[in-house]
Chains A and B, each alone.
Chain A
Amino acid sequence: MMKRFRAIPAFVAFAAILVAAVAPVAAQDDVTTITFWHAMSGSRADVVQQIVDAFNEANPDVQVIAEFTGSYAETLTKALAAYQAGEPPNIVQVYEVGTRTMLDSGAIIPIMEVSGGTLDQSRFVEPITNYYAIDGELRCMPFNSSTAMIYYNKDIFRAAGLDPERPPQTFQEVYEMGKQIVESGAAPYAISFGWPAWILEQMYAKHNIFLANEGNGREGLATEVYLNNDFGVAVLTEWKKWADEGLLFYGGREYAANDPFIAGQFAMLAQSTSSLGGIERAVDFELGTAFLPRLEGYDEIGNNVVGGGCLWTMAGATEEELDAIWRFYQHLASPEMDMTWHKGTGYFPASKETVELLEAEGWFEEHPNFRTAFDQILAGENTPAAAGVLLGDFVLIRDIVGAAIEDVVVNGVDPQEALDFATEESNQVLADYASLFGE
């Protein structure tokens, strides 16, 4: 008898859950649902949700559902697998590395088509347009753009007897200052990187050196990378020297170096500018930011290359969905949301209008660290070598380069040898890719 009574509340609860699950669906018959897969975790994810919520509130006939689907590489992989399975998301955030892959996949609708040709390309900050435009036309909706810069701990600089207002500008200075920091005991290590393979790409662009043939893959399908040229070897030789002398703290391939930097394990961190929001909120020391250092002996001026993500519209959307997607894009690009995004994360404001508004508001004066990334990208020259590399299956090549860098700075392999091997492997990937897209 007792047992039967006990079962009733359970049944009621179960029924209530069922009703609750079904009810909203029934009430939203005329609502267009847009799925948006992204790779933003941590504090970035909160800002994405904030922006999406604002859109859903203002557009009762559309429901955008933002879903975190893992790292950039995972999100790209999942989106393409879902497309094959016939259930792609409507919008997917893809990092710059995936640009060529998305373009060739046949699984996307170019942004110009989504917008019915109404998107004004000139509203975006130039290096952003340069990356995602192929043959002069944008293919995806620029969303989160960043470059890499140096974050440094001014307290450690002071403790080491260095001028906290004078961060290193060259590799040689990183080395000398690093020595002083470690030898004075101000910190156990001097420097670390996030996304080391990307930092290497930044170096090529900054020194106006091509990383791949066919104009970095922008004039045609790239078939050869120049990882093992004298420049690549010179950069890795420096990094190896830092590692061998105990200055370099190797911090993994993505953001794992951020925590030990915040904890004061080393004084300098080369990391994406998009970590600024998170780092600034977390540190209890005085934070400085600076341009990426230059390598002596290579004097050509290029620019930092833009990284981050772009929003791709997946094929298979209905007219209604396309309309909703375009409205969502316009919402994202509105100065108000653009500002929320920039201030919350450190990603670039995407449009020139937002930059002007931020200037007028005095934002950059109050937050000089947010200004650094911007000044850095305006200080360079937007040459073809700095427009960003387009490679088939770049995702895999990034991994090959990542392993090569680890081989050099962790496993002590000779830079020339590691890069020769990475070049050979990358060229094989490119050859496979080209064989399926034979021109």
Chain B
Amino acid sequence: MVAPVFRNRILPYLLLLPSAALVLVFFIYPAVQSLELSLYRVHRVRGVKLYVGLENFERLFTSTTYLNSLEVTAKFVVAVVFFALAISLALAVGASQPIRGFGAYRTLLIWTYALSPAIAGLIWALLTDPAIGVLTGALSKFGIDFNWRRSQSDALIFITAAAVWKILGYNILFFLAGLKNIPRDVIEAASLDGANAWTRFWKMIFPLLMPVTLFLLIMNTLYASFETFGLIDITTQGGPGRATNVLVYNLYNDGFKSTTGIGLASAQSIILLGIVATLTVFQYRFVSRRTFYQ
């Protein structure tokens, strides 16, 4: 019989209180407020309020712009998450090999994480500037005319590339840690049994990395859905046309560029919350079944 760690019955609750208070004040309270606001039309500065019921939601689901934004976001998030995970896993596996000077090498791989999305956007905007961009110049040598201001698909490729590049460092960091935790003896035993590198990776390393991959899958989905606003605002501003008008950017336009759209924007944030929560639960359920926690 193990003695309870806390003899005082109130102490555990007291210790929980600070974090519970933070969650209440900064997450639950605003979420409830959004829910309430989504039923109103409000003048942001004057505070004039008009009850509109579910009109904000109805309007969103019949709005061409919003439906298009959903589609753009779906494409963007899937592309970002896929490429960010695939590329960072490949790089992490490479960087985990015992090579000379790999400390410095690894640091360099991680540093993109320290940049803000807006800065990542600026760097990529410079690289791919139609007139002076280094990358545009290189691409044009292969006969590719890359211009994100004048092509919808180029614009989507452009923000995807910048968003992927920015999150790589974060993913590599976790994959490296995950790779380090894989017990060497298991891998060695497999080698002795004649498994080649390809088999070892897909049959052993990849499944053992699943907990990390699942975590990153969820974090990357959140990142692509919420944190790419700065990147888009500083470069394409949702254009050309509405080609890169992702949900968060649409929300910002409706909620902040107008003084009367905060209700409509709140409705959008509720929808966005619903989508991301559903996705997270789904990913968790689906991937958990194939995950081995050690």
Contact = CB atoms under 8 A, between A and B. Distances in A.
A104 B258 CA distance: 12
Given A402-B239, A432-B261, A410 B254 contact: no
Nearest to A428: B59
Contact of B150 (A105, A259, A410): A410
B149 A84 contact: no
Interface in A372-420: 392-393, 395-396, 399, 402-403, 406-407, 410-411, 413
Contacts, number: 98
B260 A432 contact: yes
Nearest to A259: B131
Interface in A261-309: 263, 265
Nearest to B52: A435
A421 B64 contact: yes
Contact of B260 (A83, A251, A260, A393): A393
Given A250-B149, A260-B131, A411 B241 contact: yes
Contacts of B240: 250, 406-407, 410-411
A374 B191 CA distance: 81
A241 interface: no
Interface in B250-282: 253-254, 256-261
Contacts of B132: 259, 263
B130 interface: yes
Contacts of A421: 64
A436 interface: yes
Contacts of B260: 392-393, 429, 432-433, 436
Nearest to A243: B150
A420 to B, nearest CB: 11
B213 interface: no
A424 to B, nearest CB: 9
Interface in A75-90: 77, 80-81, 83-84
Interface residues of B, number: 33
A399 B257 contact: yes
B258 A395 contact: yes
Contact of B46 (A105, A250, A260, A263): A105
A77 B257 contact: yes
B123 to A, nearest CB: 16
A252 interface: yes
B151 interface: yes
B41 interface: yes
Interface string A98-131: 0001001111000000000000000000000000
B261 A396 contact: yes
A410 B241 contact: yes
Contact of B152 (A107, A399, A411, A425): A411
A106 B256 CA distance: 17
Contact of B149 (A104, A256, A407, A429): A256
A278 to B, nearest CB: 17
B51 to A, nearest CB: 11
Contacts of B256: 77, 81
Given A101-B259, A433-B260, A403 B242 contact: yes
A41 B190 CA distance: 62
A406 B148 CA distance: 12
B106 interface: no
Contacts of B43: 436-437
Contacts of A81: 256
A395 B257 contact: yes
A156 to B, nearest CB: 15
B152 A410 contact: yes
12 contacts: A77-B256, A80-B44, A84-B45, A101-B259, A105-B45, A106-B45, A107-B45, A250-B150, A411-B240, A433-B258, A433-B260, A436-B260
Given A106-B45, A259-B131, A393-B258, 9 more contacts: A107-B45, A256-B149, A263-B132, A392-B260, A395-B257, A399-B257, A402-B239, A410-B150, A410-B240
Interface of A: 73, 77, 80-81, 83-84, 101, 104-107, 250-253, 256, 259-260, 263, 265, 392-393, 395-396, 399, 402-403, 406-407, 410-411, 413, 421, 425, 429, 432-433, 435-437
Interface of B: 41-46, 48, 50, 64-65, 130-132, 149-152, 237-243, 245, 253-254, 256-261
